[in-house]
């Protein structure tokens, strides 16, 4: 009896679950109530408020929660019927497992207290807008990232003259 249980436990794999938008915590709690091992990797980000910046925890991969299961039919339906679950990721309707190494990497990143900067990738020439500070609302072109100081240099056309402005990278957003 013990060997059978141990064998089933060894067959458990990690699977990615697609959840409804902003329902990751609801899905995580629902799965834990059903005694299903689940993992939601989160990261600390700087959130911009009107008057200040604040560190908040947000899902590292929005819309996804991971479960550790052998996906027997009963557990499969328990997972699918959990409020907020859209589907288990797979190919042609068959669930595909996530590698243990990838989950270990996510757990390592999840366990750090470092603030992760999740921002749009900007390349030279992209149009950007200054979102805060005395130059708020001005648009320009991204020139380069400057050193380790989290600063960017952007070119702003003002009065038909081009000015290069060095500004904090969190104050700039890419626009289309």
Whether residue 100 sits in one domain with residue 15 = yes
Residue 120 resides in a domain = no
Whether residue 131 sits in one domain with residue 105 = no
Whether residue 134 sits in one domain with residue 89 = no
Residue 78 resides in a domain = yes
Residue 34 resides in a domain = yes
Domains of the chain: total: 2
Instruction: Give dist(CA 106, CA 113) in Å, integer.
Output: 13
Show pLDDT as tens, one digit a residue, over the chain (176 residues). 444 334 345 689 999 999 999 999 999 999 999 999 999 999 887 777 777 778 888 898 899 999 999 999 999 999 999 999 999 999 998 999 999 999 988 888 776 666 655 555 678 888 888 887 778 888 888 888 777 656 777 777 766 677 788 887 777 888 87
Residue 163 CA: distances (Å) to CA of 63, 142, 155: 41, 12, 5
CB-based contact 68:39 (threshold 8 Å): yes
In this prediction the pTM is 0.64
Range of the domain at 153: 127-174
Instruction: Give dist(CA 133, CA 54) in Å, integer.
Output: 17
CATH code for the domain of 69: 3.30.70.940
């Amino acid at each position: 009896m013990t060997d059978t249980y141990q064998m089933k436990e060894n067959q458990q794999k990690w699977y990615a679950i697609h959840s409804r938008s902003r329902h990751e915590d609801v899905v995580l709690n629902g799965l834990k109530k059903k005694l299903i091992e689940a993992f939601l990797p989160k990261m600390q980000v700087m959130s911009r408020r009107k008057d200040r910046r604040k560190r908040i925890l947000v899902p590292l991969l929005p819309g996804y929660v991971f479960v550790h299961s052998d996906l027997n039919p009963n557990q499969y339906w328990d997972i699918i019927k959990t409020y907020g679950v859209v589907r288990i990721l797979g190919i042609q309707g068959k669930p595909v497992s996530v590698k243990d190494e990838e989950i270990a990497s996510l757990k390592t990143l999840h366990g750090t207290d470092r603030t992760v900067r999740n921002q749009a990738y900007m390349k030279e020439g992209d149009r950007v807008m200054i979102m805060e500070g005395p130059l708020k609302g001005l648009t320009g072109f991204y020139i380069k990232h400057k050193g380790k100081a989290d600063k960017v240099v952007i070119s702003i056309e003002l009065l038909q003259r081009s000015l290069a402005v060095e500004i904090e990278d969190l104050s700039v957003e890419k626009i289309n």
